[in-house]
Structure 1
Amino acid sequence: MSALKDRTLLMSGGSRGIGLAIAVAAAGRGANVVILAKTDQPDPRLPGTVHTAVAEIEAAGGQGLAVVGDVRNEDDVERAAAAAVDRFGGIDVVVNNASALNLTGTAELTPKRYDLMQDINSRGTFLLFRAALPALRASDRARVITLSPPITLAPHWLGRFPAYALSKFGMTILTLGWAAEFAGEGIAANCLWPETAIKTAAVQNLLGGGDTVDRSRDPQIMADAAMALLELPQDRTGRVYLDVEVLREAGTTDLAPYGGGPDPELDFFVDELSS
């Protein structure tokens, strides 16, 4: 039986892309999934809403709950956590998925855009975990997965987009900090990051279009990795995992079904394909 059967997962974002793939995969294993996302109405530029995401979750066999709100807003985040507890009796898994991407250099990046990125990425991660913490403490299998990268001080990464790097590294530092802070309370916290670019709207619209999409893997690779990570023992905590590392440990050796071709595009903060 899956470790997610009848467990409740609270996720920021998830209307589309990697977050939706993780939510649907968890639902397929019997989980309840609560999604906090802003997309209440269809956007012609982006597929999916929080409501279509819940429809996919329920079609996969789980129970879903849509909470329309902004991860930057403390009241919205608290309302999402409370809704999860009220509807399903608790929270067992927090997935920090919501993220803003802006690769503008320092001279061109406005303070407003800088604040937006920090507020969604690192601050939103803090708010969601903090709101869910009382319920996580009450769970006998509390887990946190944050979609954030390994921390690198390599100049070719830091100098490329310092503000974005800060926001994503903040998510990682918080998560690894919680793993240490709450180790004695049985809350396992890890980060998960794709080895390669993933076929999402962000890749299509912001990161090179068709050529990059062709060299990107399907979001299902992150969903499968997240499921494998959630099946690991509780003492596996305080680490940043690449998706392929978790999958290989779980016995998946053939990555071809996930696409990306023979020369997939590496994701940010990753310098080479793992062997």
Structure 2
Amino acid sequence: MPVVPPLQHLLSMKELSPAQIFQLIERAERLNQPGDNPSYHGRFAANLFLEPSTRTKVSFQIAQRKSGFELIDLEGRGSSLTKGESLYDTLKTLESLGVELAVVRQSQTGLLQHCASHLNLTLINAGDGCGEHPTQSLLDLYTIYQQFHSFKGLRICIAGDIKHSRVARSNAAALSRLGAEVYFVSKPEWQDSAIADHYISMDEAVTHCDVLMLLRIQHERHIHREDTAAYLEQYGLTKEREAKMDADSIILHPAPVNRGVEIDSDLVESRKSRIFRQMSNGVAVRMAVMDSLMKGEL
């Protein structure tokens, strides 16, 4: 059989086999324990965030510092992208200056795949428009695995703005391959047949699912701003719906959370919520991804 070369980049969850996903979960679990961190002292990593970010950007920064990288942080307005330079040329410049790993968030779906094919540095997709967000998916999977120790037969519902969600796109594909049953809740205009062709109501979801993954309304990707006044009662997680969930079920959200819109504010830090654990897990997962790619172990 031909030898499959290790992954150089992480751009999509479709690139990872179930075995590789479990490998990253196991490595993240080890890195979440006190002990030795990877050591990349004297080696350079760059973050280029061209869309707003709190959790992803800061957790990558912390993961890189804990791993010993010399860190370069760029924003679009502080780079030559404002002068018309292409993203590829910016990344090629960083590579030429000695950067070995770049984490990029930007708005154009599929652009990173084009850039990656011409780069020697390691590239990690931190969100590309309505495309994918693989490290968010991995930290979601890790959080689910911590709770249930398996994906086989788990009933997982993803609820919200499916059409514009890179989180939904990454998680739907990965969870199905891991053996979970994946369901969706969404307003008709936010449904996406490329992700799923069957949707259930939120009332069905809360009585049926082991994991309820809520998504925010992505106003920045809509042509017209949505009226959110009635969204919680129609499509969100109210306290009345949460009371119907199984005692062992959990609530996830990639955040930022719009309290009182997709979820009642009191439920964000409730017993079933794992929202802040997801955030905490992001550091170990991103350390695991960077270390695995840099060592050629994926």
Output the TM-score relative to the length of structure 1. Answer: 0.40
- Which structure's CA Rg is the greater one? 2
Q: Which has the higher contact order (CA 8 A, sep 6+)?
A: 2
Output the TM-score relative to the length of structure 2. Answer: 0.38
